[in-house]
Structure formats: C-alpha cells, structure tokens
Chains A and B, each alone.
Chain A
Amino acid sequence: MKKVLIPLALFIGLVVFLAVGLKRDPREIPSPLIGKSAPHFTLFTLEGGDAKFSPSDMQGQVWMLNVWATWCVACREEHPVLVAFSEKNQVPIVGLSYKEIQPQDPAYKAPFDEKLKLARERSEVWLKRHGNPYVTSVMDMDGRVGINYGVYGVPETYVIDKTGVIRYKFVGAVSPALLAEKIMPLIAELNKS
C-alpha cells in the first residue's frame, strides 16, 4: 500500500506545481515602480503647438496613464473599453503615445520636428476614428519616458494617486472586468484618502 501511495502523492504534488505554473502569465513581471513616485517628464502634447505636459500637472487628483500607439494591435482591442470608461468621467486618463514613428518607418530618420508633426497627424486621425478617451496625450517619440516607466509592452496602464505615487500597473489590454474589479475600487479608495 505504502509503495503505491508515496509515488502517487509525489506525482500529484508535481501535477499541482505544473498546473499552477501553467496558469501563471510569464509576461506579468512585478513592477518595482509600484509605491514609488511616477517618474518626472515633460513632453509635447498631441494637441499641437508648444504645449507640454508633466505628471506634476495632475497633482492633487487620481489619474491614469495609458501607453498606446496607432501601430499597436492590442490597443485596438483595449480602446473601446477605455472610451466607454472615460464617458463615465470617473478619472482623467492621460495617453502616452509610445514611439509612434517606428525604426522601420522611412520617416524615422527625419528631423525631430517633422517626425513630431507626422506622429501627431497619425495619432489624431486614429483617435478620431476610434474615439478619444484621453484628457490629453503626450508624445514619447524616442521611448525614453517609456523606459523610465518600465514599459516593455504596449498597451500598459498605470494608476497614479493624488500625491503622484504609482499605485497600480497593468500590462496588456485592459478589460471591462479588470476595470470593474480592480481599477475602479482602487480609484474609489484613492479618491477617499
């Protein structure tokens, strides 16, 4: 009896380990930025001209930063969810247009001003077609702000509290379920404090 039970127990243990391992998402890397101040940046906004935005402009309110790009496939899946969410006016969402002009793009080598203009045009067309959930979008042309935020896949979404501390980060397309179960309760809690 013992001879059968011990290997069986070991086998079941192994199966449980592997089952848990299979369920885990290897893309999910815990961000060291949670609980830390959102890195500072000053970037041109999508709206044009010389207007710039920095995270300190949002001081005193809870807000969301959403990393997106017109070339990003998963953003198309996420976008309607964000648009519907923004219509509830729960929280301002700032877009971070991440490396709109890609290295493969013939325009990549163009001077910065030209690239910025092209990126703004493309983004505006895209937002007109798919809806604009953002209070403003900022142009991270070379992706260096992205690096400071630990961006490694687009879309990514951050929840930042009134004092400018990152409270939550999500990599991948935000779903209505995630908004309802995780993000909205967090925002409600942060708004109270």
Chain B
Amino acid sequence: MNGACALSVSMVIGCVQPMAFAQATAASSGLAAGREAPLMAEDPKLEARLVDISQELRCLVCQNESLASSHAELADDLRQEVRELIRSGKSDQEIKDFLVARYGDFVLYRPEVKPLTWVLWFGPFLLLGIAAIFLGMYLRQRRALAVPVALSDEARERAKQLLKG
C-alpha cells in the first residue's frame, strides 16, 4: 500500500498515489500533474481562504497532515467541497461546522473548548500545577535538611583540639 502513511490495507482511499502510475496517467492524458494550479490563477482570493481554512482541518486519511497539505484523494474531494462552500458565501465557522457534522471533532486541529475536551485543553496545566506543588514540597524538605546545626561547646572544643593537631 501507499507507504507514506502507516495505515492498513482497508484505507484504500490512499494517501499518496503511486508515483509511476500518476506520472503515466499525467503523460497519457497530456495534463500537467498539478491540476490545482489553474484554479489558483482563476481566483487567488478563494484559494487563499481555502488554504487558511484547510490548515486548521485534519486530513482523515493521513491523520497527521492538514487538509491543506495532504495529497490523499479524499483531501482533494474535501478541498473541492470547501471551495464550493466558500463560493456559496459560507463563513469559516459554517464550513468547519459542515465538516464536524460529518467527520466529528477529529477534523479540527484546534478542538472546541467544551466539557468533553476539558481534559485535553486543561489537563497539561493541571499536570504542571501538580508538578509545581511537588517541586515546592521537595524544595521545602531540602531546605529543612540544610539548616546548619549549631555546634555544642563540647564539639567546638574538640574541633579546636583537632585543628591544633
């Protein structure tokens, strides 16, 4: 399967097309490989917004890639869908809601703050807080240990004797 992403055989929508095949079809159909290019020239504003929005969205197939950078076919389709939503005058939020309704919060790289995602958003700060408390306790303990013990007269006398040697 497509080596670019570590997914099992069932992920047949595919992340990266096998190069040889892509090149062969590009050559035989006489088309340049970058079929997104003409659209860029056609409406740079729309494409800029598309990139803006799709950088915030996760490609479902190659899960660690954004929708903007993924070469998966599904990503192509979803970008096309987003383009059409932009053309129909939808706001960024409406477009994100459209995708969340179909693919879940998983498509958002920046999930909404809601009870379900509290652990995700605040968990690290909670852990940091706990770590800070432990650090404080540890430091206090160490300081208590480091308090210089006053010498008794007897010990002082003995030390003097030793130093005189």
Contact = CB atoms under 8 A, between A and B. Distances in A.
B13 A154 contact: yes
A46 interface: no
Interface residues of B, number: 30
Contacts of B104: 29-32, 150
A163 to B, nearest CB: 19
Interface in B51-80: 60-61, 63, 73-74, 76-78
Interface residues of A, number: 35
Contacts of A131: none
Given A27-B7, A102-B73, A33 B102 contact: yes
Contacts of B25: 104-106
Q: Say whether chain B's binding surface is mostly helix, strand, loop, or mixed.
A: helix
B12 interface: yes
A153 interface: yes
Contacts of A148: 102
A109 B25 CA distance: 12
Interface in B79-119: 81, 100-106
Contact of B106 (A29, A77, A105, A142): A29
28 contacts: A27-B10, A27-B11, A29-B60, A29-B103, A29-B104, A29-B106, A31-B104, A32-B104, A73-B1, A74-B9, A74-B12, A77-B9, A103-B76, A104-B21, A105-B25, A106-B28, A144-B81, A147-B77, A147-B78, A147-B102, A150-B102, A152-B61, A153-B10, A153-B12, A153-B61, A154-B10, A172-B8, A173-B10
Interface of B: 1, 7-13, 17, 21-22, 25, 28-29, 60-61, 63, 73-74, 76-78, 81, 100-106
Interface of A: 26-27, 29-33, 69, 71-75, 77, 99, 102-106, 109, 142-144, 147-150, 152-155, 171-173
In the complex, the 7 A-B pairs of residues with the closest C-beta atoms, listed nearest first: A74-B10, A152-B60, A150-B102, A172-B10, A32-B104, A72-B12, A29-B106
